Amino acid sequence: MKSRTVSLTKRGFDFETFMWLFTRLSALAMYLCAFIGLVGALIMGARTQMNMADLIRWTFMPSSTHVLLNTSNQILQPDVWMTTFWKVMGSIFITFATSHGLHGLLSVLEDYNTIPWLRRTLRILVLVLTLAMIAIGIYVLWTS
Amino acid sequence: MIFKEEQMGLKRNVGLIEGLRYQGKGPMLTYILHRISGLAMVIFVALHILASFISNQAWGSSAGIFINTIYEYWIFQIFIFFCALFHVINGLRIVILDLWPKLIEHQREAIWLEWLVFLPIYALAVFVIINGALGG
């Protein structure tokens, strides 16, 4: 199998191409967020012997409610972890994850649907849903 | 701009039945699993955020707590961790192959490598989850 590529000027830079690139770049951004979360959890959880489930949960989404209080380990107080830095990191992660995920939902829906008016409606619906989920997610993160 | 019909890609040259009969082996399996795991995460993460939202309010509803209890159940964790880890590792393969198109010639080797990375990490996580569920 030989690889073939089409130059950007020949292909044109439309909505689809933009979202194709955005999906890849937001994935890379989320890798960076997860890496920072993993390193942060390893540093902060080192003294308290954080367990693997909490470590994984913090890696994928840094939120104090994701670190469950272990009754045998009273030193671990998740609220202390919830600094502004982690709230900002969580907000960035929510923004990328929601827009990446809901655009994925839209592209799956459009693979099985060729009715123009329904596609327009779904695009608007997914856009509204994305903005709403980002707003709700960030609200929950900063108030919980 | 995003609503022009000529930009929507409305033409299909394969029908649903033909599509279901297609046997694409390894790459097809990762494609299907990537879609299913992605959709599962969108649904469950959205429900989880909404559940946390409604149980945090002053008018707090127990429906939110009920949904979040399901998320802490060990069988659900095994399932959602499969989705997350597979999507993450397969996603990394897709990003690397797409951003460096010359590497697409080694796609099959990339898929083998992907399973080689996925299986030990997932096996370790499943062991830890089951061990915890049994009171380990």
Q: Domain of B43?
A: 15-133
ipTM confidence score: 0.82
Kindly tell me if the per-residue pLDDT of A48 is higher than 60: yes
CB contact under 8 A, B125 and A52: yes
Closest CA to A121 of A132, A112, A137, A110: A110
Position B64 pLDDT exceeds 70 = yes
Query: Per the domain annotation, does B82 fall within a domain?
Result: yes
Task: Quote the pLDDT of residue A96.
Answer: 94
Residue B55 lies in a domain: yes
pLDDT at res. A59: 86
In angstroms, what separates the C-alpha of A1 from chain B's closest C-alpha? 6
Interface with B, mutate which of A7, A11, A15 (most B CBs under 10 A): A15
pLDDT above 80 (res B34): yes
Question: Cβ–Cβ of A110/B132 closer than 8 Å?
Answer: no
Task: Give the helix/strand (H/E) hosting A71.
Answer: none
Contact call for residues B84 and B32 (beta carbons, < 8 A): no
pTM, rounded to two decimals:
0.84
pLDDT-based confidence at residue A74 (cuts at 50, 70, 90)? low
What distance in Å separates residue B10's CA from the closest CA in chain A? 5
What is the residue type of B76?
F
Q: What is the DSSP code (8-state) at residue A28?
A: H
**CATH code for the domain in which residue B35 is found:** 1.20.1300.10
Residue A71 has pLDDT above 90, yes or no: no
Interchain CB distance below 8 Å, B7 and A14: yes
Shortest alpha-carbon distance between residue B86 and chain A (Å): 13
Counting one residue from A and one from B, how many pairs have CB atoms under 8 Å apart?
83
Confidence of residue A72 (pLDDT cuts 50, 70, 90): low
Taking residues B9-20, what's their average pLDDT?
Answer: 76
Domains and CATH numbers, chain A: 14-143 (1.20.1300)
Report how many domains make up chain B.
Answer: 1
Per-residue pLDDT at A68:
67
pLDDT at A69: 56
Flag whether pLDDT at B7 surpasses 70. Answer: no
* pLDDT for res A32: 93
SS (H, E, C) chain B: CCCCHHHCCCCCCCCHHHHHHCCCHHHHHHHHHHHHHHHHHHHHHHHHHHHHHHHHCCCCCHHHHHHHHHHHCHHHHHHHHHHHHHHHHHHHHHHHHHHCHHHHHHHHHHHHHHHHHHHHHHHHHHHHHHHHHCCC
- Domain-embedded: residue B114: yes
Between B81 and B15, where is the model more confident?
B81
